[in-house]
């Protein structure tokens, strides 16, 4: 009986995998619209901060606190695109739609920002009544004038200290 011998190809050790740099993933095959080169550096910078926040050690933090920087950066990135399109009118509808489609901005959060009373909303979890004990909004949605004077509040979902105005 003839023995089968398989040749093993070059393999990478786990140390090599960790140190090798992964190429940046292309989000879509369609080239970005005009004006992309103006906002890309800011979005890349926010993307880099997001990666840092995701890999940041969470020792000494409560379980919910480790997600707060990610929520803040998500809000900041969506607000940046919202302001460029709706407030400053600095980008085209095509570029705005591209940013939404590629996941650079949260279309549901932006839709809430367009409604009265939600202009400064921090995150969508803070208005979901199913996440609270009594079926109400988050404490950060209570206007500061309705709270005790000097009381510092902090949302457990995203770390917001008051987004109702």
Residue 152 lies in a domain: yes
pLDDT in tens, 21-43: 444 555 667 899 999 999 999 99
Burial class (CB in 10 A: 0-12, 13-18, 19+), 112: middle
Q: Are residues 77 and 137 in the same domain?
A: no
pTM, 2 dp: 0.79
Residues of the chain with pLDDT under 50: 5-23
State the total domains in the chain: 2
Burial class (CB within 10 angstroms; exposed 0-12, middle 13-18, buried 19+) of 57: exposed
Does residue 16 sit within a domain?
Answer: no
The answer on 87 and 67 residing in a single domain is yes
**Closest-CA residue to 121 (of 81, 158, 89):** 158
In this structure, the answer to whether residues 73 and 134 fall within a common structural domain is: no
What does the angle CA 136 – CA 74 – CA 141 come to, to the nearest 5 degrees? Answer: 25
Are 94 and 133 within one domain?
no
Does residue 18 sit within a domain? no
Residue 56 contacts residue 90 (beta carbons within 8 Å): no
pLDDT digits (tens, 9 = 90+) for 11-23: 444 444 444 444 4
Closest CA to 123 of 115, 136, 113: 113
- Domain range for residue 98? 34-54+63-114
2 within a domain of the structure (yes/no): no
Q: Are residues 126 and 164 in the same domain?
A: yes
Residue 80 sits in the same domain as residue 134: no
What one-character DSSP code corresponds to residue 33? P
């Amino acid at each position: 009986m003839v023995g089968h011998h398989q040749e093993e190809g070059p393999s990478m050790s786990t140390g090599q995998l960790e140190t090798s740099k992964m190429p940046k993933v292309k989000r879509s095959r369609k080239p970005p619209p005009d004006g992309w080169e103006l906002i890309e550096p800011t979005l890349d910078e926010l993307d880099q901060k997001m990666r840092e926040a995701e890999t940041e050690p969470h020792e000494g933090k409560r379980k919910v606190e480790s997600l707060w920087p990610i929520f803040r950066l998500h809000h900041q990135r969506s607000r940046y695109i919202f302001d460029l399109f709706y407030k400053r009118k600095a980008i085209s509808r095509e570029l705005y739609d591209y940013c939404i489609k590629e996941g650079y901005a949260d279309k549901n959060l932006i839709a809430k920002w367009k409604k009265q009373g939600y202009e400064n909303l921090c995150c969508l979890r803070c208005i979901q009544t199913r996440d609270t004990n009594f079926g109400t909004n988050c404490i950060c949605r209570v206007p500061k004038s309705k709270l005790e004077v000097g009381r510092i509040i902090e949302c457990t979902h995203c770390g917001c200290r008051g987004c109702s105005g």
